[in-house]
């Protein structure tokens, strides 16, 4: 047997592939990061389950105390009426985030509800405010029985349905008017949605409708799936979750859930996803008027398209500007629609004044253009509205905005883009609507472009026509 000498042993050691110190350090840091992230997710899930258990225990304790008080006061041991909804505390305490949501009670005595936009009288507003779940004077929970709460749900839903119908009637009278009813807080947002989807007027939404709301609010993902939400619904049906005050049976869940159950659901979602509750509430509030309004998005786009091409006189379009619009939006098609057809339609349109058309005449003209493509009035409007995304007249504005944003974000360091956009996201919803986008362009980027031009740019970036841009979409826009 031969014994290897020192030289052969050294050669064998050199051939062995041992990691360098840098590689070993990197691998160790990676394993630490993976372990830390797993621990963080486990902690969040544990918090959610502990919060559910605590809320159940608190609900039982509160019910026991009320039963004892009722026995002492009556002397006969009578059972009190069912607990009012939301008598139990929410799943988790999110006080700092709740304060950020703009749901203040106003300056004139603290009215709980206000319709920010739309032709709604103060009398209509006060009728809605009368049925608020909370007392507007001190913000405390009203002492409502279960029957009172059912009646309040029906009245709130009926009031919002009336307001929506009145607003849409005004839209039919004024061709340029867009849907302008907005819910100021989460409760109004819920009943505004219920006014459209709830066929029997009882103020309840079924699980399918709730899932639509969560999906359009971009709350459903790989962490929070539709199956998990349905499982949370079933905890009410089997009596595992007594947050609402009374056990809910299978038939109750099939009928739908009300505002009180919906708020509990949002608390649970915020815990599961590890995001501020205020962000969940803000997304539902912002979404409410979009779900009710199915046509205003097209009308707003057409209004901006009209304003963008009225170069000589605001709110009046000439024949040359109309044909230029058709050319810019790439509508000319050989054998179907040409510039000559555009001129002919312009001069045959009703309501011309001094060879100019206003917005009402413009709507009539685009309907005539649509007929040449075999489309009805609604399809014609959608065809012109979709053309906004193909416009190239604002390329210079895009370049200037990109340059200004890069300059502004450079002061924020490595994570400049994200920090800059989050600072511009005033309601912390993770998305930017046009008002926030316009405020950013005007006050932070100091752009002096007309608001209608910036609106056209916003519409071009809003590819899914959701009325808002996510922070990730804005970052992709800058980096591309």
Q: Is 352 left (phi over 0), alpha (psi -120 to 50) or beta?
A: beta
Instruction: Determine the average pLDDT of the residues in 237-248.
Output: 46
Domain segments of the chain as ranges:
95-102+109-292, 297-390, 395-479
**Band of the pLDDT at 346, cuts 50, 70, 90?**
very high
Which range is most confident: 72-81, 167-176, 283-292?
283-292
Three-state secondary-structure class, residue 50: helix
Q: In the chain, what are the helix, strand and coil shares in percent, each to the nearest 5?
A: 60, 5, 35
d(CA 315, CA 326): 17
Q: Where are the beta strands (DSSP E) in 277-348?
A: none
Short-list 98, 133, 129, 131, CA closest to 112: 129
Instruction: Tell me the β-bridge partners of 337.
Output: 333
Element (H, E) at 324: helix 319-328
The pLDDT of residue 98 is above 60: no
- When mean pLDDT is compared over 119-123, 188-192, 254-258, 293-297, the highest value belongs to 188-192
Token representation of residue 222: 């790989």
Task: Identify which of 137-146, 247-256, 289-298, 437-446 has the greatest average pLDDT.
Answer: 437-446
pLDDT of residue 90: 41
Number of C-beta neighbours around residue 111 at 10 A: 17
State whether CATH 3.30.1050.10 applies to domain 297-390: no
Question: With the CA atoms of 330, 335, 341 and 345 taken in that order, what torsion angle do they form, in degrees rounded to the nearest 10?
Answer: -90
Q: pLDDT confidence of 6, banded at 50, 70, 90?
A: low
Residue carrying structure tokens 């519409």 = 459
Based on C-alpha coordinates, what's the Rg of the chain?
30
What pLDDT, on a 0 to 100 scale, did the predictor assign at position 101?
Answer: 37
What letter does residue 294 receive in the DSSP assignment? S
Residue 365 DSSP one-character state = H
Q: Calculate mean pLDDT across residues 346-370.
A: 87
pLDDT at 84 over 50: no
- Helices 359-372, 377-386: inter-axial angle, 10-degree rounding: 100
**Residue range 459-477: mean pLDDT, rounded:** 71
What is the rounded distance in angstroms from the CA atom of residue 228 to the CA atom of residue 86?
A: 23
Report pLDDT for 393: 45
Mean of all residue pLDDT scores within the chain: 68
Q: What is the DSSP letter of 357?
A: B
pLDDT at position 250 is 47
pLDDT given at position 279: 79
Q: What is the Cα–Cα distance from 220 to 189, expressed in whole angstroms?
A: 19
Residue labelled with tokens 């005004």 = 170
Q: Do domains 297-390 and 395-479 have the same CATH topology?
A: yes
Report residue 214 CA to chain centroid gap.
9
Average pLDDT on 70-87 reads 50
Rounded CA-CA distance 393/114 in Å is 39
Whether pLDDT at 408 is above 80: no
| Residue 190: pLDDT over 60 | yes
In whole angstroms, give the CA distance from residue 22 to residue 17.
14
The three-state secondary structure class of 317 is strand
What is the reported pLDDT for 134?
Answer: 54
Q: Work out the angle at residue 165's Cα, subtended by the Cα atoms of residues 214 and 150, and round it to the nearest 5 degrees.
A: 60
Q: pLDDT of 103-162, one tens digit each?
A: 333 333 333 333 333 444 444 444 444 445 555 555 565 666 666 766 777 777 777 777
* Cα 209 from Cα 46, distance rounded (Å): 29
Answer for the pair 114, 188: CB distance below 8 angstroms, yes or no.
no
Helix-then-strand count for the chain, H and E: 21, 2
The residue ranking higher by pLDDT, 62 or 323, is 323
Q: Which residue in this structure is represented by tokens 């990676």?
A: 30
Q: Higher pLDDT residue, 221 or 166?
A: 221
Res 234 pLDDT > 60: yes
Q: What pLDDT does 123 receive?
A: 47
Higher pLDDT residue, 119 or 299? 299
Residue the block writes with tokens 């362009």: 441
Is the pLDDT score of 199 beyond 70? no
CATH number of the domain located at residue range(s) 395-479 in this protein: 1.10.238.10
pLDDT of residue 117: 38
Question: Which segment, 176-180, 255-259, 465-469, is predicted with the most confidence on average?
Answer: 255-259
Is 68 in contact with 93 (CB distance < 8 Å)? no
Q: Is 83's pLDDT higher than 50?
A: no
* pLDDT > 90 in the chain, percent: 1
pLDDT, residue 23, reads: 67
Residue 93's pLDDT is 39
Closest CA to 452 of 393, 407, 406: 393
Lowest mean pLDDT among 82-96, 177-191, 229-243, 297-311: 82-96
Select the highest-mean-pLDDT range: 44-48, 185-189, 316-320, 373-377: 316-320
**Of 268, 287, 152, whose CA–CA distance to 217 is shortest?**
287
pLDDT, tens digit, 9 for 90 and up, residues 309-323: 787 887 889 998 898
Helical packing angle, 395-409 and 416-424, nearest 10°: 100
- Residue 359's beta-bridge partner residues? none
Banded pLDDT at 440 (limits 50, 70, 90): confident
pLDDT value at residue 174? 62
Q: What is the pLDDT of residue 116?
A: 33
- Alpha-carbon gap, residue 435 to 176, rounded angstroms: 19
Which carries the bigger pLDDT value, residue 436 or residue 448? Answer: 436
Residue 11 in this model has a pLDDT that exceeds 50: yes
- Number of C-alpha atoms within 13 angstroms, CB side, residue 129? 20
Residue 302 vs residue 177, higher pLDDT: 302
């Amino acid at each position: 047997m031969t014994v290897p000498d020192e030289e052969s042993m050294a050669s064998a050691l050199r051939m062995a592939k041992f990691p360098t110190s840098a590689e070993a350090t990197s691998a160790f840091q990676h394993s630490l990061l993976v372990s830390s992230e797993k621990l963080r997710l486990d902690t969040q899930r544990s918090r959610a389950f502990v919060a559910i258990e605590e809320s159940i225990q608190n609900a039982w304790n509160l019910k026991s105390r009320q039963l004892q008080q009722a026995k002492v006061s009556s002397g006969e041991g009578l059972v009190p009426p069912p607990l009012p909804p939301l008598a139990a505390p929410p799943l988790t305490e999110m006080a700092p985030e709740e304060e950020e949501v703009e749901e203040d009670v106003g300056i004139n005595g603290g009215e709980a509800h206000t319709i920010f936009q739309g032709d709604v009288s103060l009398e209509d507003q006060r009728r809605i405010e009368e049925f608020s779940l909370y007392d507007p004077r001190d913000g405390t929970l009203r002492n409502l029985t279960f029957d009172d709460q059912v009646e309040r749900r029906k009245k709130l839903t009926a009031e919002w349905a009336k307001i929506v119908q009145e607003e849409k009637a005004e839209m039919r009278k004024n061709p340029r008017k867009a849907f302008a009813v907005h819910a100021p807080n989460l409760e109004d947002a819920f009943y505004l949605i219920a006014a459209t989807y709830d066929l029997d007027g009882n103020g309840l939404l079924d699980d399918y409708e709730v899932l639509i709301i969560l999906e359009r609010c971009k709350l459903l993902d790989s962490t929070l799936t539709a199956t998990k939400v349905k499982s949370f619904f079933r905890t009410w049906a089997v009596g595992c979750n007594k947050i609402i005050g009374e056990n809910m049976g299978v038939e109750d869940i099939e009928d739908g859930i009300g505002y009180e159950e919906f708020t509990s659901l949002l608390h649970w979602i915020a815990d599961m996803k590890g995001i501020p509750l205020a962000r969940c509430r803000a997304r539902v509030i912002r979404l409410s008027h979009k779900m009710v309004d199915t046509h205003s998005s097209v009308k707003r786009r057409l209004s901006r398209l009209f304003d963008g091409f009225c170069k000589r006189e605001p709110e009046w379009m000439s024949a040359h500007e109309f044909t230029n619009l058709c050319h810019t939006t790439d509508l000319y098609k050989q054998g179907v629609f040409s510039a000559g057809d555009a001129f002919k339609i312009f001069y045959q349109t009703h309501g011309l004044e001094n060879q100019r058309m206003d917005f009402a005449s413009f709507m009539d003209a685009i309907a005539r253009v649509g007929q040449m493509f075999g489309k009805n009035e609604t399809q014609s409007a959608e065809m012109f509205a979709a053309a906004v995304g193909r416009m190239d007249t604002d390329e210079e504005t895009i370049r200037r905005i990109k340059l200004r944003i890069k300059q502004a974000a450079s002061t924020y360091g490595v994570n400049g883009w994200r920090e800059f956009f989050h600072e511009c996201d005033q309601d912390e919803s993770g998305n930017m609507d046009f008002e926030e986008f316009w405020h950013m362009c005007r006050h932070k980027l100091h752009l002096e472009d007309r608001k209608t031009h910036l609106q056209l740019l916003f519409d071009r970036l809003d590819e899914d026509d959701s009325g808002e841009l996510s922070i990730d979409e804005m970052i992709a826009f800058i980096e591309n």
